[in-house]
């Protein structure tokens, strides 16, 4: 026994003849049916196709998956199965109101990329938790292992010159030396024992 599917699109009717019952085990699947419909009418893959049929009660039913295909062909024994294929129009982009358009036009320019900013690897801003600090790094002379980024320093201020600028970033060896010195000297003697030679990017005791 052969099974027939007739598909109409616009004013064109095409016919599919199958050996196995669509929707049954080993038979045509909904995805395969949709692909064949596109090929029959040369519909682009980018378009969405809506398949409908009239069921045994005379109602128009939309077919969306294998369950619907099985219900039509196996449950209702529709042979031939008469389908109608329609292209689903794309939803137009919503138009912006004059106020919305004006708001978009006044949006601030994107922030400048920090790709060229110096990065202080292994150093975290202790106020905003940015890691690593990008740009200027300010290191406390009073509190061991305490650093701020430029934004946080501008917020809290630099009273009595507590923070010193470390720029450009210390290389890993000097960063390790600084940490070891802070551990050895302790908080009490830190300010008098450590100073920074910024021009030479070095540390001295």
Same domain for 137 and 186, yes or no, is yes
Token pair 């529709």 in the structure block, residue:
78
Q: Classify residue 17: in a domain, yes or no.
A: yes
Structure confidence at residue 81 as a pLDDT band (50, 70, 90): very high
Strand pairing partners for 60? 54
Mean pLDDT along residues 92-108: 59
Indicate left, alpha or beta for 179 from its phi (over 0: left) and psi (-120 to 50: alpha): alpha
| 97-106, 164-173, 183-192: the lowest-pLDDT one | 183-192
In a domain, 98, yes or no: no
Q: What is residue 187's predicted lDDT score, i.e. its pLDDT? A: 43
Confidence of residue 85 (pLDDT cuts 50, 70, 90): very high
What's the CA gap between 136 and 127, in Å, rounded? Answer: 14
Task: List pLDDT tens digits, range 65-78.
Answer: 999 999 999 999 99
Structural domain including 136 reads 119-204
- Please indicate, yes or no, if residue 11 is contained in any of the structural domains: yes
Q: Which range has the worst mean pLDDT, 40-49, 126-135, 179-188?
A: 179-188
Distance of CA 162 to the CA centre of its chain: 42
Q: Does one domain contain both 21 and 71?
A: yes
| Overall number of domains in the chain | 2
**Percentage of the residues of the chain whose pLDDT score is greater than 90:** 40
The yes-or-no verdict on residue 178 having pLDDT over 70 is no
Residue 114 lies in a domain: no
User: Which of 36, 68, 88 is the endpoint of a domain?
Assistant: 88
Nearest to 171 by CA among 118, 114, 113: 118
Q: Evaluate if residue 91 carries a pLDDT over 60.
A: yes
Residue 173 vs residue 131, higher pLDDT: 131
How many helices (H) and strands (E) are present in the chain, helices listed first? 5, 12
Both 175 and 132 in a single domain?
yes
83 belongs to a structural domain: yes
Q: Is residue 178 part of a domain?
A: yes
Whether pLDDT at 183 is above 70: no
Side-chain-side CA neighbours of 128 within 13 Å: the count stands at 15
Element spanning 85, H or E: strand 81-88
CA distance 119 to 51: 58
- pLDDT at position 50: 94
User: Does a structural domain hold residue 157?
Assistant: yes
Residue 109 lies in a domain: no
Flag whether pLDDT at 141 surpasses 60. Answer: yes
127 plus 54 within the same structural domain: no
């Amino acid at each position: 026994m052969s099974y027939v599917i007739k598909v109409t699109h616009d004013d064109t009717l095409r016919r599919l003849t199958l050996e196995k019952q669509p929707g049954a085990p080993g038979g045509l699947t909904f995805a395969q049916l949709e692909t064949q419909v596109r090929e029959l009418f040369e519909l682009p893959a980018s378009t969405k196709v809506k398949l409908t049929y009239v069921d045994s009660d005379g109602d128009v039913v939309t077919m969306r998956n294998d369950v619907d295909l099985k219900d039509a062909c196996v449950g209702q024994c529709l042979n031939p199965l008469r389908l109608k294929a329609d292209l689903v129009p794309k939803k137009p982009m919503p138009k912006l109101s004059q106020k919305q358009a004006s708001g978009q036009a006044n949006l601030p320019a994107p922030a400048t990329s920090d790709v060229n900013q110096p990065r202080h690897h292994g150093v975290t801003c202790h106020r905003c938790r940015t890691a690593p600090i990008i740009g200027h790094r300010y290191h406390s002379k009073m509190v061991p292992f305490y650093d701020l980024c430029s934004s946080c320093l501008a917020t809290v201020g630099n009273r009595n010159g507590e923070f010193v600028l470390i720029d450009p970033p210390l290389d890993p060896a000097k960063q390790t030396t600084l940490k070891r010195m802070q551990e050895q000297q302790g908080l009490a003697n830190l300010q008098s024992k450590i100073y920074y030679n910024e021009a030479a990017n070095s540390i001295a005791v």
